[in-house]
């Protein structure tokens, strides 16, 4: 019985390590997508980019799913949040799904 528990624990640790390795890959890919899409024209991270749209700590406020909603439906999200910043955010609906997921993962990783 003890051996079975230890094997189960080892499997869970291995799966967690694999998941966090995948998460790290997504974050790195998302960082590249952020750069390629010129997001710093409107947003800043760590003082780099447009100071009017800081994203530092946004991952502590929004989930990756919330961020993906902002990326794909910015007009609706801005109305919901009563955001008045101009120009309004553009939609990234046409990004390949894996790039969209990676971008959301990267922005969600920006925690305080």
- Return the CATH number at 59: 1.10.760.10
Domain that holds residue 104: 25-108
DSSP classification of residue 44: E
Q: Choose the weakest-confidence range: 20-24, 57-61, 87-91, 95-99.
A: 20-24
pLDDT at 94 over 60: yes
Q: Is residue 5 part of a domain?
A: no
Q: How far apart are CA 62 and CA 21, in angstroms?
A: 22
The answer to whether the CB of 45 falls within 8 A of the CB of 56 is yes
Number of Cβ within a 10 Å radius of residue 70: 21
Average pLDDT rounded to a whole number, residues 35-44: 97
Q: Is residue 4 part of a domain?
A: no
- What are the Cα distances from residue 75, in Å, to 48, 53, 71, 92? 25, 16, 10, 12
């Amino acid at each position: 019985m003890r051996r079975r528990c230890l094997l189960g624990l080892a499997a869970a640790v291995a799966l967690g390590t694999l998941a966090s390795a995948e998460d790290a890959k997504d974050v790195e890919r998302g960082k590249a997508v952020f750069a390629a899409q010129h997001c710093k024209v409107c947003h800043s991270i760590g003082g780099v980019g447009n100071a009017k749209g800081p994203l530092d700590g946004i991952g502590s406020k929004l989930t990756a799913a919330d961020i993906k909603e902002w990326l794909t439906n910015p007009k609706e999200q801005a109305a919901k949040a009563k955001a008045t910043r101009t120009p309004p955010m553009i939609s990234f609906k046409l990004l390949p799904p894996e790039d969209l997921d990676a971008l959301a993962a990267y922005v969600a990783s920006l925690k305080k």
